[in-house]
Amino acid sequence: MTAVKRACPWAAALAIAFSVVAVVVGQLEPDPHLNPLNVTVSEYAVADRGGVTEWGMAILGLGSFALVAGLRMARAPIAGIPEKLLMVWSAALVVAAVVPTTPVGMDMTLTALIHRFVSVAAFVSLPVAAALLVPRFRADERWRPVARTVEWLALAGGLGIAAITYVALPGDRVLIGLVERILLGAEVALLTVLAGWLVRLTWNKSVQVLTYHKFLTN
């Protein structure tokens, strides 16, 4: 269990790093007719079906599962609704990677509807989870140093949800690609803060245990 406890934070951090690189690479014009300002990441992904963008989404989802497991084993204050929302985010990303949307200009299909619903679930669940975690982090000595950062990122995510809702409905998709990427950036930044701090806590704990063990054996 100790090895798994140490591995989960690193697995989450590496998955986040890989997914960022993969999605950036996937934006390098899979179709020259796609404009990243007006086309969502999912629409880019379906233009390059099976490409690095979908792999990035899937790996981010799996890495988020590892993050939740690591937080739980580290006894971070996530129990209850925040943990469930983090699980929704993780599962929704994996489903969105496996179930594609339709290419730009084509009629909506059942798989595209499923993709849209799980994408909305992912976008909403993470900022809400972060907002619920803020007071818990403030009350926990180990997590208090990142509480303010998590609060700002939760706010950024909430504003991003409001913006993408507007551009997707009355805004007639104007700059929806840009708005979505800003929202995703805030959400990935939130995951990075959680994973990075978890790695630090786990590393410090491991060093303390190793130091104590050396002290006993000397």
Given a contact cutoff of 8 angstroms between Cβ atoms, the answer to whether 88 and 122 are in contact is yes
Structural domains counted in the chain? 1
Residue-number span of the structural domain to which 41 is assigned: 2-217
Query: CA–CA separation, 118 vs 182, rounded Å?
Result: 19
Given a contact cutoff of 8 angstroms between Cβ atoms, the answer to whether 105 and 155 are in contact is no
Given a contact cutoff of 8 angstroms between Cβ atoms, the answer to whether 73 and 4 are in contact is yes
**pLDDT per position in the chain (218 positions), as tens?**
567 777 899 999 999 999 999 888 877 755 667 777 888 888 877 776 557 888 899 999 999 999 999 999 999 999 999 999 999 999 999 999 999 888 777 788 898 899 999 999 999 999 999 999 999 999 999 999 999 999 999 999 999 999 999 998 888 889 998 999 999 999 999 999 999 999 999 876 543 433 434 434 55
Q: How many CB atoms lie within 10 A of CB 85?
A: 22
Q: What is the DSSP string of 76-118?
A: -S-TTHHHHHHHHHHHHHHHHHHS--PPTTSPP-HHHHHHHHH
Q: What is the DSSP string of 7-66?
A: HHHHHHHHHHHHHHHHHHHHTS-SSTT--TTTS-HHHHHHHTTTSHHHHHHHHHHHHHHH
Query: CA–CA separation, 27 vs 41, rounded Å?
Result: 8
